[in-house]
Amino acid sequence: MPDIQTICWYASYALGMILFLGGIFYLLRKKHPREEDFIKATLFEFCAAWILYLPEEIFNDVPESLPSLKMAESIFTAFLRTFNIYLGNDYSRIEFAGHPVFSSLYATLITVVNIVMLFFVAGLIVKFLEGPVQLMRMSLSKRRPAYVFPVCNSKTLAIAESIKDPRTNIIFAYGDREPGQTEKQRINDIGGVYVSGSVAGILDRIGRRSKGIEIFLFGDSEVSNLSELEKICDKVGAGVKAPVRIFVELSDTPWDLYDSFLDKHNTPAGEKLIINFVRTEESFAYNDLLKYSIFENAIQTDENRKDIKVLIVGMNERNLEMLKAVLHLGQMPGYRLTVMVLDESDGRKRLMAKLPEVYDECKTEGDAIYRLIYKENVDMEVLEAVGNEYPDFTFAFVNAGNDLKNTGIAVRLNEMCLRKGRKAGYRIQVNIEDQKICRSWDSDITERMDFVGDIKTIYAHDFITMSDIEKGAIAIHEVRYPEGTDRYRSWVSYCNNEYNRHSVYARTLSFKHKVKIIHDMYDPNDELKGTEKEFDIYRVTKTNRIWKIYEHMRWNMYTRTRGFVLADKALLDEDGRVDKKTRSAARVHHDLIHYSKLPKEDQDKDALELTPEIVKILRDI
């Protein structure tokens, strides 16, 4: 039977091994270890080293005097050795008399335990310094423009990655949460920093010296976005001198609910705080239709008319915004718009509930001209309606499911066109979330297809903020309402509610296309280019009544696609108008009428003279 000394040596070895492996496995189980995890793992290794030193201290060099104190002294000495060992003391001096092989294994285990403990301590130091290092990086660059993200997800990472200017401060605020290793790597790759604490705390640190701060509330919940907005607005006060702009992503919440909130917080001169609500799908539609013209392949039916035939495959939020956009964009002199929607379900009634004054057909010049063909319960594998009724579409947007489903539908549409001998005159857009999958596809088959809608494009900074359209809209506004004149109105006061701002975006998008259409109509051969009369042709939008009429039709359709209806006579005042409060709450408007019935001053509002400055701005968008 083994003596007590042997039992103690083997027990210490076993317990030390358990604690040693326990510390390693504890840390390995943590996908994203925190400071306290490194501390706990280090304690495992410390205890392992302490237990392993006990037999050496208890059984070797036992003094003859005071043997009763030996146990307490040995435990304390072993405890101290776990500290002293890193000061250069020899920790290989292990001897279990009569067991040389075991002594060697025992000494090896002690060595490994201490090395691992050193690694854990180093990891703890790195973790401890990580926060201060990130804060230091943020503080050193706080004079730069700052982009702040309260959450880190695929959307905010895409926005941050699209910011190419290296002279910016990209900051992710993590609150109480620890960022994962993948998130840290991506943030480091784009030159960003991640700090604990709230956005309000970040504003405290950089709000006085930053050249400007943009905050993106793009969380997974509208509730969290709006809650964070309230906190930030409460914070932006005397302590924040930098101009702050906040972008808040919404999908279901009506903008109108926040009109008074914007009136309160958006400063008149735009020097302190500007809040913009972002409808991601609307931003997609406007940016997409800015780049890809629905007028490009319009079919010439007679000398004075071209037909635009849009096909929308699928019905969801993105497709709905595309439908809304083409309905008002298509109100253009010389063009007639037809839209066919293919819906796998029975969504026409739901569409009517959202847009009660968007009918199947409207053909009154001065009101609106379009035709909407809505096909319900369509089998996307067959697409019979396209082959039989709509084979000459000029622009198609396919978004009925996942990437491969959308691609399959687009390929079948392309096949239909090619079988009918159509080698040009149409464009097929395919909504693809991850464009990596289509890089190796046969270019001959996809020649007439454009792959759009990937998350990195939709959540690019310029895309999500409608930067191109807004810059153009602001520049045009400054030409129309120049500072220092009686006509001056600041952009912020002019577009201080979401309806006005987005309405101006829609108008700017329309006029961008009008510049090209007017040029093609009146000077197709560039005969006037470089002459004094180069811009004279564009003044037709002010002098020719037809352009005023169609601008009213475009506004008419835009307002209807926002869900507005014509105001009942009971709501009108003696001037025939609805007060702003009722108009917003009931979504009614007194101007949803024929152009000829508008008062003269309202007719004049529909004129936008395309001056040389405005034409240049529109061409540069």
Give the model confidence (pLDDT) of 443-489 as tens digits.
888 888 899 999 989 999 999 999 899 999 999 999 988 888 888 88
Choosing from 128, 149, 173, the residue where a domain stops is: 128
**Helix intervals (H) in 432-544:** 455-458, 461-464, 467-480, 491-494, 498-522, 540-543
Q: Answer yes or no: do 361 and 308 share one domain.
A: yes
Q: Answer yes or no: do 267 and 289 share one domain.
A: no
Domain residues for the domain of 108 are 4-128
* Cβ atoms within 10 Å of 508's Cβ, excluding its own: 26
Residue 395 located in a structural domain: yes
Residue 468 located in a structural domain: no
pLDDT for the residue numbered 329: 97
Choosing from 222, 248, 278, the residue where a domain stops is: 278
Q: Answer yes or no: do 573 and 604 share one domain.
A: yes
Q: Answer yes or no: do 211 and 112 share one domain.
A: no
pLDDT for the residue numbered 88: 43
Q: Given a cut of 50, is residue 585 above it in pLDDT?
A: yes
Mean pLDDT of the region 280-288: 95
Q: How confident is the model at residue 98 (pLDDT cuts 50, 70, 90)?
A: low
Choosing from 458, 480, 504, the residue where a domain stops is: 458
Residue 464 located in a structural domain: no
Residue 382 located in a structural domain: yes
Q: DSSP of 427-459, one letter per residue?
A: EEEEE-S-GGGGTTS-TTTTTTEEEE--HHHHT
Q: Answer yes or no: do 333 and 394 share one domain.
A: yes
d(CA 200, CA 195): 12
Residue 481 located in a structural domain: no
What lies within 8 Å, CB to CB, of 52 at 6+ separation is 12, 13, 16, 106, 109, 110, 113
Mean pLDDT of the region 199-205: 80
Q: Answer yes or no: do 531 and 586 share one domain.
A: yes
Q: Given a cut of 60, is residue 167 above it in pLDDT?
A: yes
- How many independent structural domains does the chain possess? 4
Residue 483 located in a structural domain: no
Q: Answer yes or no: do 432 and 560 share one domain.
A: no
Q: Given a cut of 90, is residue 495 above it in pLDDT?
A: no
d(CA 507, CA 543): 19
Q: Answer yes or no: do 317 and 421 share one domain.
A: yes
Three-state SS for 274? strand
Q: Answer yes or no: do 505 and 602 share one domain.
A: yes
Q: What CATH number corresponds to the domain at position 219?
A: 3.40.50.720
Q: Mean pLDDT in the chain?
A: 83
Report the percent of the chain where pLDDT is more than 70.
86
Q: Answer yes or no: do 271 and 294 share one domain.
A: no
Q: How far apart are the first and last CA of the chain?
A: 92
Residue 472 located in a structural domain: no
Q: Answer yes or no: do 26 and 73 share one domain.
A: yes
CA quadruple 57, 59, 63, 68: dihedral sign: positive
Give the model confidence (pLDDT) of 229-267 as tens digits.
888 887 776 667 788 899 999 988 888 888 888 877 776
Q: Given a cut of 60, is residue 527 above it in pLDDT?
A: yes
Three-state SS for 185? helix
Residue 366 located in a structural domain: yes
Q: Answer yes or no: do 451 and 543 share one domain.
A: no
pLDDT for the residue numbered 270: 46
Q: Given a cut of 70, is residue 386 above it in pLDDT?
A: yes
Q: Given a cut of 50, is residue 66 above it in pLDDT?
A: no
- Please state which of the ranges 54-58, 155-159, 256-260 shows the lowest mean pLDDT: 54-58
Q: How confident is the model at residue 7 (pLDDT cuts 50, 70, 90)?
A: confident
